A and B are shown apart, each in its own frame.
Chain A
Amino acid sequence: MQKNAYFRGLTIPFLLLAPQLAITVVFFYWPASQAVWQSFLLQDAFGISTDFVWFENYQRLFADPGYYKAFVNTAIFSTFVCVLSLSIALLFAVMADRQIRGAEVYKTLLIWPYAVAPAIAGVLWIFMFDPSLGMLARALQSAGVAWNPRLNGNDAMTLVVLAATWKQISYNFLFFLAGLQSIPKSVIEAAVIDGARPWRRFWTIVFPLLSPTTFFLLVVNIVYVFFDTFGIIDTVTGGGPSGQTETLVYKVYSDGKGGSNLGGSAAQSVVLLVMVIAMTAVQFRFIERKVNY
């Protein structure tokens, strides 16, 4: 007699899935469907008068040049944050993976910033780089750099990129380190015997074997820059100067919370949601092919 390795009927599988499904429904599908519904409404702040306006919120959104600017800002911001945080974290992980004295201390210190809330991370960076208060800003100024994120859009963007990158390096570092430690030593030793130098060993063995980790981190990092960074932007620049650091998610936040424009804000969330779903799908479809599991 053969033992069944699967469940008979549907009851038990569904029961086992229920907690996870319930959480997804309550914390994702329910709010997301609310956002879709809200995006068709025009409401006053108190919700006393409500009009169903079809696609008007979307029309207004796509007629607003500021919204396209937020797209461009998001593209710049997310590219810089992803590339910098991934490459710096990889560098740190490779360095920390070697036999060095006090490796544990370095690792712990590198992981710490992840425990810092985004808004706090923003405040830390503004303390260092505020043109009047910041010590590093003063150093820059005395070195002859006209550092002024209050008015210079590039300076402001640099600052939010730095803060958002710094915050994410820990997370990436942790995963890269785990990935490196799971690469079999024998493979690398074999390469050493074959006479491969460290640089070559890294690119032909370590990096390809790390690719599942890298791919996972790429997806997570994109979700991070798209959704989790508004706290940093809010505390560092408030979207300024003249909207040059206003990203899509920050605009959702400032229009909805600051401006009580729930319909417009909901329409932006829906657009953002569709975009991130599309990007994740593209990543899985095309980039995942290059991943060696």
Chain B
Amino acid sequence: MSSRTLLISIAVAIIVIAGLATVFYHPGSGKSTSSQTSTPVASQTTSALPSSKSAPATTRTSTAPSPGSASKEIHLPIGVLVDESGPTSDVGRDYAKGVMAAIKYFNKKGIYTKDGVRVYLDAVERDYAYNPSRAVEFYKEFRDKYHVVAIVGWGTADTEKLANQTAHDKILYISASYSAELVHKPYNFFPAPDYSTQACAALTWITTKMKKAKLALLYDHEIAYSKSPIPAIKSYAKKEGIRIVADVNLPLAATGADAERAVTELLGSKPDFIWCGNTITSCALAAKYVAAYGLKSIMIVNVWGFDERFPRIAGRDIAGKVVGVSPWIWPEYAKDRPGYREVYEAARISGIPQKQVNLRFMQGFMNVWLLVKAIERTTSKELLIKKGEALKEALESSCHGDPIRLGDITPPMRFCPGNHLPFKTVYIVMYGKDDKFHFLGPIEPKGFDCAAATSG
């Protein structure tokens, strides 16, 4: 047989085998009629349960105590996507600790479906270093290797870009990104107002302090998270008569020199207020130079840019000159209230000292808690058959049914199909000259759909 004949034979064989395999082979489907090669939606609708061979998720008979008549327990595989080494690790590390502590806490305390079946969360954690491409790789690993039904995720760019895929794969996605772009995505949830609504609330607060104020914008012009609320800020500012006098780039991973350069760019415009849309390190460094250059402006910092550590990084000179936006009271200021107690209990179980429980830790805890709420609102049968879709429907049952509350941390939350904005209020957190944080509000923007201003 000549080489040419051999090659042609091989090529024909490849085409025939590939064609047959593509049409007839359905990996992992068992008796399912699903087809991985049919349209994506159909393939997921009937795809099989995670197999014990390839995934940690199993349903098994158990003698474990559980309320009700059920004797099974469900091990639910979930993905945890965090940034512990990238440019947002300054807030990502504590968030990741909160997520993992919450999983441990709820697994120990017991998660039960509506019909009393105990559910365990089997978490797979991945640090994607805030690289959206890595997030996509890990997403595929979660989906194809671990067959997760839910993901507790992190950043704006990756969550936004994966949103259509998660909807298609019917995987519930609870993110640390509160981007307005996610509000209308069917499988994306978060227990907070979106960034745009939060920013508009901050602008509402500005209007109570000053009429026709001058506002400067300071954020990373290349990062989706930092840019997310900017269209809403610009639209709402115009409506409220606030003048945008500067729009300056401040890198997310800013050094002192970057922050100083950015602040010096603002000097000429003499703003009354400065919006900082990055995470804590770069915003705190910018605040430090705002104080050092004697600017009279008040800096307003996005939710991920302001927490208990801010004065330690920026220095005490910023007292009275910086406020942060937060949809929730911070744990240190509500230790004994329902919801916050659970946060501290989770930390204790994981051996995390009380003083390390901060806003970021609580945010991680809250996202897992929201997932737990979804599980508690579904039945074991729905969970096993519809998986992520069941969890989504469970959360959306709050639209016309009982609202979801995470203790006293959040107000009653309602997630409606097509609109996952659970509430609109935020607190303005002022760092006072008494070295304490003061919570003003809650306040919310009136007469303007800020999420729509961003997501269109």
State whether these chains interact.
no
Give chain B's interface residues, CB within 8 Å of chain A. Answer: none
Chain A residues engaging chain B, CB cutoff 8 angstroms: none
